[in-house]
Every structure is written in structure tokens, then in C-alpha cells.
Amino acid sequence: MEKARPQWGSPLQFVLACVSYAVGLGNVWRFPYLCQLYGGGDFLVPYLIMLVVEGMPLLYLELSVGQRMRQGSIGAWKAISPYLGGVGIASVVLSFYLSTYYNVINSWGFWYLFHSFQDPLPWSMCPLNGNRTGYDEECEKASSTQYFWYRQTLNISPSIQDSGAVQWELALCLVLAWLLVYLCILRGTESTGKVAYVTALLPYGVLLIYLIRGLTLHGAINGLKYMFTPKGHPPAPGLQVEQLANPKAWINAATQIFFSLGLGFGSLIAFASYNDPSNDCQKHAVIVSLINSATSIFSSIVTFSIYGFKATFNYESCVNTVILLLTNTFDLEDGFLTASNLEQVKEHLASAYPGQYSEVLPLLRNCSLESELETAVQGTGLAFIVYTEAIKNMEVSQLWSVLYFFMLLTLGMGSMLGNTASVLTSLTDSRLISSHLPKEAIAGLVCLVNCAIGLVFTLEAGNYWFDIVNDYAATLPLLLVVLVETVAVCYVYGLRRFEEDLQAMSGRALSWYWKAMWACVSPLLLISLFIFYLTDYILAGTLKYQAWDASQGHLVAKDYPTYAVVIIGLLVASSIVFVPLVALGTFIRSRLKRGRTVPVA
């Protein structure tokens, strides 16, 4: 007799698991960057439109498929059509890739969390050089936060060809991160559902604390003004048509919605497969979508308040340095030079003492609050460099550092529960595997294999490989997977048939909005995104990466070596190739079977 499928303890557990999975690091370090890049508050217009025409419909589609078929990604798509088994395999492979490198971010979080208990914070100042006569040269050319990230954390090599040795401290942090993941997924939905209460709710508590603290910081208002003020040329009130007419703003809005909800990885299908068949997944899809987008906006307010503090601090430090230099050079009275009269006095000194002023001119920095605010940073640069630079200048900086990296860990662990759920559900659904191994052993093997592969990212060149997997492994393939999913439901399984299934589950007729989005709007949008990214890769020409130059103290662009380009191609193809291969294999088997059953005349 077949075992009954496990279920969530309550609908709330399911919603929190979905929120914990969807609300991740991208909400904290990607969305604020896009707001900064595309006109501040103006970016919300394409973002919210894409939420309605892409995010909600596709999320509802995946949750409905999982709840209706009550299987993981592979089994669900095979149930829709035997020819679509490759779609499920592709999703599981993509989830495996994501899990492998995503938990490396959590290992970095652990590393910074452990160092947050030191006084002073280790990234607050440059270390002394070898003979202790001054500061480390690399650190002076960069900054203390950049030095701690690139040299003391990653110990990064100058190029991807120089693999270097495994950084054992980061390797231990990675093992710890995977051990924590294993403990969270050990009992399936029973343990995941309980962990979701922490990973879904705790980050909001920390964000709220940071918001209160951020709004009280000196200069926070400058960051918030920058976020919400349209960036026209010249700046003008109201929406800026310039940004709304920019196709890249719409492309990035659609991409942010798509990836932040975690579509295409099979995790949402896996989560929904443990629902009660009568669960109202339409309502839950809307709730999760809105919470995810609201979190992005909320975290942006927090980020820009802290960003404003950092920019104001740097600007005022720059101005004070210039004032001190001019006061000492021209023997001015203390307190005479201020930020308000600085430019006027500089003009006077340049005209009254041209020779002396020309000597000091190369030492005068050009201080601008606007240029400090315009420095757009995303990803690890925002999380581990910009934020740490702001934190080191706060009072009781250790406390704020611990809170921040604890929040990053809960966000990262919440997403990891979803990433591993896609792989585990498909494996435990397989009778061949589950009949020989208990789910605890399957979970342990998945974590062990992921951890072993993840050690590559702890090499001195590991960050370059991390960027390769992050940038290429799950972009084009993911778009193609979700496109095939949408077309399969509407035109292979049949939209009318699927509508009847949903009505049987929820007792509610499917509205025209969902049908129009699934049948027409969402597929066209996915095709547009796929063409854009494919064209972007082709037009980019030689693939490049950002390498750390220790002699200059900043990143420089380098070409990927041939073998790295080949690996990129294999990463892209290794998941999506299962879609046509399984379809072809199924077709050949059906033809052979049909041939054997043809009666002899």
C-alpha cells in the first residue's frame, strides 16, 4: 500500500515556507541597486506592472501544478505529459546548481558574523605592514572594508587561472552552513515548516530595527531623497518619461520579479505538492507575491537610509580633509573655512595665490555628496563592502554588525530550504531511490555532494567561479524552463482542462485575468526576456570578468580563458538539454512499443 503523502501542519506553514524561499538576498542587495540605477521611485512603475502581468500569474501556475499533481517537479511534469519529464529534470538540475553556490554566501555570512564580535571590527581599519612602519599598501590603495573582503576573507587570486589553495576557514564555515541546512530539512515538511517560522519572520524584525536605527542616522534623509526623487535631466517632479521609456528598466523589472520569486526551480511545485488538495493556492500566490514585493521596497528604504549615512559621512570627511589642508597651507584662522563657504574661498585663493594654490591643487579632492550617492553597487559588493563600511562608523558597531549578518543568514537559510526541497522531493518521490534509502540518508547525501562541490568556491580563485555559476548557470535555462512550463499547461495539458482541475480543487471558476496571462501575456514576456538576454550575450562579444588587482587596489576587467568559456557553455546546456532529450527518448520508446504491439496479418 502506497504511503500517504506528508502535508504541511497548517496553511500558514506553507505560506511562510514560500515567503521564506522567495524573500531572499536579492530583495536586499539587488532591488535597491535597480532603484538607484533606474530613476529611484520611477522604477516602481515597471516593477509593479511586471508583478501583475508576470509574477503573480506564473507563481499561481507553479503552485497549482504542484498541488494538483501532488508530486515533485519531475513527477508533476511527467503527469502532465510523459514528454515533459525533461522539464522537471532541468528544474532539479538548476536547483542543484543554485544550492551549490548559494550556500557559499551563507558561509561568508558566518565568517562575518564570527568576526562581528571583535572590538574594533576587523574591517574598520587597515592592518600594519610587515615591518610595522605603516599600513598595508594594498589596503591603503583600496579601503579597509574592501581589503577585509578581498584579501582577508576571499584571499582572492589575481586571475581565474591562479586557482590557489582552499581557504580552510571559509571551508569550515561552508561545512557549518550545510550542517545547518541538513538539520532544517532532516524531517521533511515536519522540520521545514517549523523552521519557516524563524526564517520567514525573523528578518522582518531585524529590518524593522535597522529601519528605526537608519532613520536616526545623520544623513539618512539624503539617501531617502535620492531613492524617491526622480532622476530627470534636469530633475523635475513627477514621473520621468526618460526612465519609463528605457527598455532596460522594464527588462530588469521583469527579471527582478522573475528571479526573486524563485520561479522555474521546482521548489514552489515541491512545496505545493504537500498541500491539502482543497487549499486555496490562488489566494496564497497573491499573498506571497505581494509580501515579496513589499519586502523589496521596505528593504530599499532601510538600505538607502544607511546608504545616505555612509555617503554623508564620506562627503563630510572629504570636506574636512580639504578644509584642514587649505587651513594649514594658507595659514587660515581655525573655523574660518566651512562647508558652506569652501568653494568661494577656493576661488579666492586660486586668484590671490595662484602659484601656491597650483602646488596644493593635486592634493585637493573633489567632494560631492551626489557622486557618493550615485555609486551604484549590488550583490556581494553591497552586502559585504558598502554595508560594512556604514556599520563600522555606527555607535556600538558590533551590535549592528551581528544583527545585520544574522539577518543575512536567516534570509539565506530560508532560500536554501526551498532550493533543497526541489531536489529532495524529486528524489524521495522516486520509488527506486526511496525504497532503498530513508529520507534522512537522501538528505544527507544531497548536502554532502553539494558541500563537496562547493569547496571549489573556497579556493583563492573561487569567487571567479562563483560569479560564473551565478551569472550563467540559471539565467537563460531558467527562462526557457518556465516558458515551456507555461506553454505545456495551456497548450499540451489544455487550459480548459486545467481550469476544470482548479475549479474542482477550490470550488471557484478561473477568472479571465489568469487565463489571459497564462495563454498569451506571460509567454510573450518570457520570449522577450529570452531574446534580450541571448542578444545581450551575443553582442557582448568576448566574455569578461572582474579580477582583483592588488597593486592598484581595485577591480579590473579581464577576458575569460577558453576553458572557462567552454565550462560556461556546458553549464548553460547541461540543464536545458534534458527537455529535448527526454521528449525524444519518450517518442522513440512509444514508437518501439507501438511497433511491437502491431498485430500480424
What is the per-residue pLDDT across 343-360, written as a single tens digit (0 to 9) for each? 888 888 888 888 888 888
Q: What residues contact 23, with CB distance under 8 A and at least 6 apart? A: 200, 203, 260, 291, 292, 295, 411, 414
What is the per-residue pLDDT across 534-552, written as a single tens digit (0 to 9) for each? 888 777 777 889 999 998 8
> Helix 281-329 and helix 342-352: axis angle, to 10°?
30
The highest-confidence range among 27-31, 310-314, 447-451, 507-511, by mean pLDDT, is 447-451
pLDDT, average across residues 1-22: 84
The rounded mean pLDDT for the chain is 88
Please, are residues 94 and 264 in contact by the beta-carbon 8 Å criterion? yes
pLDDT, average across residues 412-431: 88
280, pLDDT greater than 80: yes
189, pLDDT greater than 80: no
* Alpha carbons 233 and 315: distance in angstroms, whole number: 23
376, pLDDT greater than 70: no
Phi, psi of 238 (to 5 degrees): 90, 180
* Alpha carbons 283 and 298: distance in angstroms, whole number: 22
* Alpha carbons 24 and 199: distance in angstroms, whole number: 10
pLDDT, average across residues 416-431: 88
Q: What are the cell numbers at 398?
A: 558590533
Q: What is the DSSP letter of 600?
A: P
Rounded to whole angstroms, what are the CA distances from 511 to 65, 372, 381?
17, 48, 43
SS3 353: coil
For the ranges 127-131, 181-185, 210-214, 281-285, the lowest mean pLDDT is seen at 127-131
Please, are residues 408 and 25 in contact by the beta-carbon 8 Å criterion? yes
Question: What's residue 242's pLDDT?
Answer: 60
pLDDT, average across residues 427-449: 88
Question: What's residue 13's pLDDT?
Answer: 92
Read off the pLDDT band of 255 (50, 70, 90).
Answer: confident
> Where are the extended beta strands (E) located within 370-501?
none
Rounded to whole angstroms, what are the CA distances from 465 to 129, 273, 315, 571, 574?
30, 34, 35, 12, 17
Question: What's residue 169's pLDDT?
Answer: 95
Greater confidence, 402 or 351? Answer: 402
Question: What's residue 351's pLDDT?
Answer: 87
Please, are residues 101 and 36 in contact by the beta-carbon 8 Å criterion? no
Q: What residues contact 10, with CB distance under 8 A and at least 6 apart? A: none
Question: What's residue 231's pLDDT?
Answer: 61
Question: What's residue 511's pLDDT?
Answer: 92
Question: What's residue 240's pLDDT?
Answer: 53
Read off the pLDDT band of 520 (50, 70, 90).
Answer: very high
- CB count within 10 Å of CB 497 equals 10
- CB count within 10 Å of CB 512 equals 8
Please, are residues 274 and 7 in contact by the beta-carbon 8 Å criterion? yes
378, pLDDT greater than 70: no
Greater confidence, 399 or 359? Answer: 399
Q: What are the cell numbers at 160?
A: 581565474
What is the per-residue pLDDT across 152-171, written as a single tens digit (0 to 9) for each? 999 999 999 999 999 999 99
Question: What's residue 243's pLDDT?
Answer: 62
Question: What's residue 194's pLDDT?
Answer: 86
147, pLDDT greater than 60: yes
Q: State pTM to two decimals.
A: 0.88
* Alpha carbons 10 and 193: distance in angstroms, whole number: 9
